[in-house]
Amino acid sequence: MSVIIFVELDNGSIKKSSLEAIYYGSKVAESTQTTATVLAIGSAEESALKEAGKFGAQKVLHANDGKLSHENSLAYANVLAQAVEQEGSKIIIMAKSGLGDAVAARVAAKLKAGIVSGVTELPDTSSGFTVTRAIYTGKAFASVELNSDTKVLVVRKNAVEAVATEASASVEVFAPTLQDSDFAATVKNVEKASSELSLTDADIIVSGGRGMKGPDHWDPLLELADALGAATGCSKPVSDLDWRPHHEHIGQTGIKVAPNLYIACGISGAIQHLAGVNGSKCIVVINKDPEAPFFKAADYGIVGDVFDVLPRLTKAVEAAK
């Protein structure tokens, strides 16, 4: 029997958020005296999959059927269910994402499992199985006791600090039975909009609001992001005004992020935006208004005009390299 962790791949490598899920799963396996097995679906080199061992996995099951080359939550859930049956797993773990949530819901329904999404801490197994999850857009936390035989946990980014070792996992080919009904709708082609860093996987994000004063004034922000190797984001009003592309919109109705460092430039801090960034480890706010609500949520605050502060920060970052 083992804990099984479903991971997402990006260009043949395991996504950072999934590496955190593997580490989380390995700790759950330790507490329940089982082992940690990873399921990877899609094209990947064996050497990349062995990296799962550094985060506590003993084994990787690799399903690389050509039909599974594009994300398909229905097919992936059925593949995961077959892996669960083969391994005799009672605990299923994955990182929180659009795909993760969809696969988790489908596999939980298929296996009649209890499911908790947005998990923020390791479970308490001292008496039963209790997990903590974020509620009310991260403003509060709920303790949930899972009594079902099979359990599905969708882990929020930064729930644990993943620590790598020099270990390596074994990799086994997994050949699931695929059904035509799994592919009622198929993806023919995927074209990425750009080579920009993914907001959901970025360690550092530099984000701008209406304080940037228009679509033609973003160079200072972009230069800082480039110096830091960061992704760029924006508030909802900025995307609504078409100052920045809509895929950069961060907030309750946009993308929810959890980077190690989030730098907010000229963003007042509406509750809807805060709901999208409250998983960040460190928040730095730059705003000329000392009463901006965002300062209350900040770890560090700089009161000043973004057009004065950003070039200085960029210069300091470049000097420190």
Q: Is position 266 annotated in a ligand binding site?
A: yes
Residues 81 and 172 in one domain: yes
Q: Is position 158 annotated in a ligand binding site?
A: no
Residues 27 and 143 in one domain: yes
Q: Is position 246 annotated in a ligand binding site?
A: no
Give the per-residue pLDDT at 193. 58
- Domain final residue pick, 183, 215, 237: 183
Q: Does position 277 have pLDDT exceeding 80, yes or no? A: yes
Q: Does position 316 have pLDDT exceeding 80, yes or no? A: yes
Q: Is position 270 annotated in a ligand binding site?
A: yes
Residue 197 falls inside a structural domain: no
Q: Is position 273 annotated in a ligand binding site?
A: yes
Residue 163 falls inside a structural domain: yes
Q: Does position 185 have pLDDT exceeding 80, yes or no? A: no
Residues 253 and 168 in one domain: no
Mean pLDDT of 132-154: 91
Q: Which residues span the domain enclosing 90?
A: 2-183
Q: Is position 91 annotated in a ligand binding site?
A: no
CB 36 within 8 A of CB 61: no
The strand pair at 130-135 and 140-145 is best described as antiparallel
Q: How many domains does the chain have?
A: 2
CATH code of the domain containing 302? 3.40.50.1220
What pLDDT band is residue 139 in, cutting at 50, 70 and 90?
A: confident
Mean pLDDT of 164-169: 94
Q: Is position 247 annotated in a ligand binding site?
A: no
pLDDT digits (tens, 9 = 90+) for 220-253: 999 999 999 999 999 999 999 999 999 999 998 8
Find the distance separating the first CA and the last CA of the chain, reported in whole Å: 48
Four-point Cα dihedral 309, 315, 316, 317, nearest 10: 110
Q: Does position 186 have pLDDT exceeding 80, yes or no? A: no
- Domain final residue pick, 149, 183, 217: 183
Residues 142 and 245 in one domain: no
CA distance to 1, 19, 51, 126, 288, per residue, from 32 (Å): 10, 20, 23, 10, 51
Least confident of 44-58, 178-192, 276-290: 178-192
Mean pLDDT of 77-93: 97
Residue 99 falls inside a structural domain: yes
Least confident of 93-97, 113-117, 155-159: 155-159
pLDDT digits (tens, 9 = 90+) for 24-79: 999 999 999 999 999 999 999 999 999 999 999 999 999 999 889 889 999 999 99
Q: Does position 195 have pLDDT exceeding 60, yes or no? A: no
Residues 309 and 169 in one domain: no
Q: What is the pTM of this model?
A: 0.84
Distance CA(257)–CA(266), nearest Å, equals 18
How much of the chain exceeds pLDDT 70, in percent? 98
Q: Is position 267 annotated in a ligand binding site?
A: yes
Q: Does position 279 have pLDDT exceeding 90, yes or no? A: no
Distance CA(70)–CA(281), nearest Å, equals 32
The strand pair at 59-63 and 300-303 is best described as unpaired
Residues 170 and 295 in one domain: no
Give the per-residue pLDDT at 313. 97
What pLDDT band is residue 191 in, cutting at 50, 70 and 90?
A: low
Residues in CB range of 35: below 8 A, 6 or more apart: 1, 2, 3, 29, 58, 59
Residues in CB range of 7: below 8 A, 6 or more apart: 14, 15, 18, 19, 21, 22, 38, 39, 40, 52, 94, 95
CB 212 within 8 A of CB 238: yes
Give the per-residue pLDDT at 8. 96
Q: Is position 269 annotated in a ligand binding site?
A: yes
Residue 138 falls inside a structural domain: yes
Chain position carrying tokens 């005296």: 33
Give the per-residue pLDDT at 66. 87
CB 287 within 8 A of CB 295: yes
Give the per-residue pLDDT at 194. 58
